[in-house]
Amino acid sequence: MTASPLLQAPGAVSGEGLDAGVAAHYGDPMREQRLLAEGLAVVDLSHRGVVTVSGPDRLSWLHTLTSQQLTDLPPRTSAESLVLTPKGHVEHALHVVDDGERTWLSLEPGTSSDLAAWLDSMRFMLRVEVEDVSDRYAVLGECVDREGVEGEPPTWLDPWPRVVGDTATYGPQPEEHPGRDRRWREVIVPVEEMTAAVGDRELAGTWAAEALRVAAWRPRLGADTDHRTIAHELDWLRTAVHLHKGCYRGQETIARVHNLGRPPRRIAFLHLDGSGHVLPDAGAEIRLGEKVVGRITSRARHHEDGPIALAVLKRNTDAEADLLVDGDIAAAQTQIVAR
């Protein structure tokens, strides 16, 4: 992908890995994170892919292919959905919004061409057209008041509303915390209008966005997933899977694990000991005693909570146990997915 024009902003430092091509920060990551949480900054997510589906059959067709209930999705209403492999492993994570004429799919960097090609191969005789428009449209991210913002442009609102506030009350009781509850919003704009869309607001880098994501227990394809990941392990059943819809690719695994068993692994939120002033690498081993029970998948330094992480653990790992990361970093876990 080509580098974002916002990398020319003062202080911009380019990201790496999944977030290459956009700014990791603009010189002061903690200040950027505070401004982002308060709704005063915008994150450049123009490295995300954008795919459009047009035609009168678009929503009913996407409904048959993905994990979410999309038939008759109202205009300007967003949803989260997954594309699964035939065996039920997570292949694509989609942010979906329909504008009344076409459906917009925002997805992880580097995945849009594969998704567009697969969708195109599944059109058959249906009245749909698929187009990868990642080179013409860009995604911007921000925190907004819980009600969000309606109208132009196409906007995706995180279905799990809490992105700031007390992390101890996120997933299990998302409606009970009366504090600062904002929602994560992604806006799709033409590339040439990115600067105008930012306006006079501050820019925040992806480090800031990742810290809020980890604090909100929100999984990310490519960071918290691998080739074996199923939706149950990462709590995507809460936001991205409709358990009572008809058949779609991978649906058998969704139903079987939900009704008859437990996922082999589970995501957990970790508070890390910050006395060493160093964050563990993604992929760092997690031990309970002498036994390796999982690995760090995402980690960040939060402006209020300090060093935090998401981890994928073996299902039967004691949910009350303190863990060790990378041999010597103490970690207290908060259970997200039931064992």
Residue 80 CB-density burial (10 A; 0-12 exposed, 13-18 middle, 19+ buried): buried
Whether the per-residue pLDDT at 166 is higher than 70: the answer is: no
User: Sorting pLDDT into bands at 50, 70 and 90, what band is 262?
Assistant: confident
Neighbours of 112 (CB within 10 A): 22
Read off the pLDDT band of 181 (50, 70, 90). low
Mean residue pLDDT of the chain comes to: 90
pLDDT in tens, 196-230: 999 999 999 999 999 999 999 999 999 999 999 99
- pLDDT on residue 162: 53
Q: How confident is the model at residue 241 (pLDDT cuts 50, 70, 90)?
A: very high
- Amino acid letter, 16: E
* Per-residue confidence (pLDDT) for residue 169, from 0 to 100: 35
Which token pair is 28? 């002061």
List the beta bridge partners of residue 203: 42
Q: Which pLDDT score is estimated for 277?
A: 80
Q: Which of 60, 50, 91 is nearest to 231 (CA)?
A: 91
Which amino acids are annotated as binding site for substrate, given as ranges?
176
Judged against a pLDDT cut of 70, whether residue 249 lies above it is answered with yes
Contact criterion met (CB below 8 Å) for 139 and 187 = yes
Q: In what order do the strands lie in the sheet with 49-54?
A: 78-84, 90-98, 102-107, 49-54, 129-132
**Does residue 150 have a pLDDT over 90?**
no
Does residue 246 surpass a pLDDT of 90?
no
Query: What is the average pLDDT across 122-140?
Result: 95
pLDDT at residue 275 tops 70:
yes
- Strand-pairing partners, residue 308, are 271, 300
- pLDDT level of residue 170 (50, 70, 90 thresholds): very low
Domains of the chain: 5-255 (3.30.1360.120), 264-335 (2.40.30.110)
Q: Tell me, rounded to whole angstroms, the distance of Cα 328 from its chain centroid.
A: 29
Query: What is the Cα–Cα distance from 253 to 245, expressed in whole angstroms?
Result: 14
103 band by pLDDT with thresholds 50, 70 and 90: very high
Structure confidence at residue 179 as a pLDDT band (50, 70, 90): very low
Which residues make up each annotated binding site?
A: 176
pLDDT tens by residue, 41-54: 999 999 999 999 99
Is 0.75 topped by the overall pTM? yes
Percent of the chain at pLDDT above 90?
Answer: 79
With b for 16 or more beta-carbon neighbours within 10 A and e for fewer, the 288-324 pattern comes to beeeebbbbbbbbbbbebebbbbbbbebebeeeeebb
